[in-house]
Amino acid sequence: MPGISSARMADSLAALRTEVVACRRCPRLVRYREEVATVRKREYREVEYWGKPVPGFGDPNARLVAVGLAPAAHGSNRTGRMFTGDRSAAFLVRAFHAAGFANQPTSVRRADGLRYTDLYLTAAVRCAPPGNRPSPEESSRCRPYLDRELRLLTNARAILGLGSIAWDAIRAAVPEVYGTDPIRTPFAHGAVATIGPGRPLVWASYHPSPQNTNTGKLTFPMLVGLLTRIRESWTPASPRRQS
């Protein structure tokens, strides 16, 4: 959508957000997210959970689009903002801050003042799935939302998949959104795929889950280093468009 104004882009993303929040396409995920929001975790027993699909969040003029797996049951499913309120979020947002994409190193709740610059954060699936594992059918039903976001985020110079499920969702979206050949690059931390002139580079990272960060599979320097490489891949010949 070349030449789209910032105001029109924001309006379109706002319309998409409204659709995402109202979505009930996947009965299993609807039941699970609402059950979690009703029963709640003991430490959050007095907190009102979001309990709905979680929309993307960030800068509509972003050059980096980061795609996660899905909301955590007691993280984004509780707070209503992508990667907010759990250990994965704490690790990821601290790295975004260190790399210059976030105005603060914490992501605790929707009204905590967090702002992203040059970054838009979204997910392959918008509802918390049991065991953090959406089914292939659920991922497929949710993918049109990612397709639409990528079409709207016309300043994107890089797309980052956080984990193999996000990587697969991006691989599925790229031919539909950009009209290019499928990505054949296998998933690996730091992998990068070129999809054509004037198109974003597609990068991969291990997911910032405690399973990866507690074991050292993904370290803080690894993630900050990758985010720095992504930023350095932008050339002076591709500045952010001004509207």
Domains of the chain from N-terminus onward: 6-232 (3.40.470.10)
pTM for the whole structure? 0.92
pLDDT in tens, 157-214: 999 999 999 999 999 999 999 999 999 999 999 999 999 999 999 999 999 999 999 9
Mean model confidence pLDDT for the chain = 93
Higher pLDDT: 234 or 231? It is 231
Identify residue 228 by its one-letter amino acid code.
T
Of 97, 49, 45, residue with least CA distance to 71: 49
Q: Is the pLDDT of residue 3 over 60?
A: no
Alpha-carbon span 102 to 59, nearest angstrom? 10
% of the chain surpassing 70 pLDDT = 92
In the sheet that holds 201-205, the strands lie side by side as: 57-58, 119-123, 64-68, 158-162, 201-205, 192-194
Q: What is the pLDDT of residue 242?
A: 47
- Residue 44's pLDDT is what? 94
Position 75 confidence tier, pLDDT thresholds 50, 70, 90: very high
pLDDT in the model for residue 58:
97
Q: Which of 100, 128, 175 is nearest to 34 (CA)?
A: 128
Q: Among residues 238, 178, 171, which one has the least CA distance to residue 203?
A: 171
* Three-class secondary structure of residue 66 per DSSP: strand
